[in-house]
């Protein structure tokens, strides 16, 4: 019996041979690491397909984590005793901080994540959706840096992390101003 080869099988076989040839030629370019570049391209394509509208939220999550990590690093350098800090303590400090930072970052993006998840695709291009996305960017690029700077200044003044005292000053400005003047 002879086997009849369809045109799709021929195209598939030729595509596989071209891919193998590309991997061999790229392995010479990448230092004999076969398939490094195609795997990277596949990963990026998978991320962009999965990401879609969620890629904006992933970026905001990463920005928030970066801001909070930098705040922690600056506060350790400014106020910590680096001579007594061991590598194990520093690792524990940053891992614990990462857990709390991730919780804060998720709180920032949860409203937008809920919005993107439960609305159908056509309703995501409305003015309301755009306003919510812009509000999320505002939090990431304006409110969060302000909060990081306020946290640093508050710690410098009171040797304590940002707590209810900062909000008491907002609620009772008359008492605060009388104490200052």
DSSP-derived letter for residue 33 is -
Residue 65's pLDDT is: 94
77 and 127 share a domain? yes
29 and 112 share a domain? no
91 and 170 share a domain? yes
The two three-digit tokens of residue 123, written as one number: 């309703």
Domain count, the chain: 2
**pLDDT: which is higher, 79 or 136:** 79
Residue 55 to residues 73, 131, 143, 163: CA-CA distances in angstroms? 27, 17, 21, 32
| Separation of alpha carbons 61 and 105, rounded Å | 6
Structural domain harbouring 36 = 8-45
Distance of CA 78 to the CA centre of its chain: 25
41 and 101 share a domain? no
Residue 46's pLDDT is: 65
Is the entire prediction scored with pTM above 0.85? no
Any domain includes 112 = yes
Residue 18's pLDDT is: 43
Mean pLDDT of 35-63: 73
């Amino acid at each position: 019996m002879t086997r009849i080869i369809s045109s799709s099988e021929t195209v598939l076989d030729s595509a596989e041979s071209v891919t193998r040839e590309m991997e061999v030629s790229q392995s010479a370019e990448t230092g004999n690491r076969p398939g490094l570049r195609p795997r990277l391209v596949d990963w990026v394509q998978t991320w962009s397909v999965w990401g879609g509208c969620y890629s904006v939220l992933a970026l905001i999550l990463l920005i928030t984590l970066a801001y909070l990590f930098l705040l922690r690093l600056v506060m350790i350098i400014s106020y910590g005793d680096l001579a007594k800090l061991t590598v194990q303590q520093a690792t524990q400090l940053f891992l614990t901080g990462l857990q709390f930072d991730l919780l804060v970052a998720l709180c920032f993006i949860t409203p937008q994540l809920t919005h993107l998840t439960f609305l159908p695709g056509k309703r995501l291009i409305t003015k309301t959706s755009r306003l919510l996305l812009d509000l999320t960017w505002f939090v990431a690029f304006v409110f969060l840096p302000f909060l990081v700077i306020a946290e640093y200044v508050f710690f410098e003044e009171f040797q304590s992390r940002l707590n209810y005292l900062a909000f008491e000053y907002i609620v009772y400005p008359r008492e605060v101003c009388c104490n200052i003047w």
